[in-house]
Structures are given as structure tokens and as C-alpha cells.
Amino acid sequence: LDYYATGKLNVDIAATVVTGIGAGCELAGCSLVGGETAEMPGMYEGEDYDLAGFCVGVVEKAEIIDGSKVASGDALIALPSSGPHS
């Protein structure tokens, strides 16, 4: 988790969100190692919040997915973006 940002921090909501992210990390066999909590009045309405995160992984060279085994009939899953992100 890079950050959790909200207009006014509700500790119960933030704890629930971060606990859920931690549970997801545990299921994936990875660690939640850091993050920032930002309280930004005027940027978010009510109990709205914003999350940002990233992950880094490693793989054995023989297991790298490089596209060489893509075959006709394979499923391609694409998700739309809500817009440009930086």
C-alpha cells in the first residue's frame, strides 16, 4: 500500500480497509510492508477515500511469461482504466 488518503480520517474505516488489504496479501503469499495515511480536507467528500499501491515480484527465469506460449483460443482479460494515471 503506497497510501490511503481521505478528507477526514475515520480510523474504523481505514483499519477495515488496511486489514482487508493485509488479508489479500496473506492469501497471495506476500507482505504489506509500508504505506502513508494522508488526511486532506477539501479533497474528498464525506467518507470517500483514495488508495494507491504497487507490488514487486520475482520469478525463476524458466517460469517467465514472455508470450512464446500464447496460442489461438487463449483467453485475454482486459480491464478498462478510469482515465490517465501518473
The pTM (predicted TM-score) of the whole model is 0.67
Mean pLDDT of 72-76: 93
The fold for domain 3-56 equals 60s Ribosomal Protein L30; Chain: A; (3.30.1330)
Taking 80 as the threshold, does the pLDDT of residue 86 lie above it? no
Distinct helix (H) and strand (E) counts, the chain: 1, 3
- 11/6 Cα distance (integer angstroms): 11
Domain ranges of the chain: 3-56
Mean pLDDT of 73-81: 91
pLDDT tens sequence across 17-69: 999 999 999 999 999 988 899 999 999 999 999 999 888 888 999 999 898 88
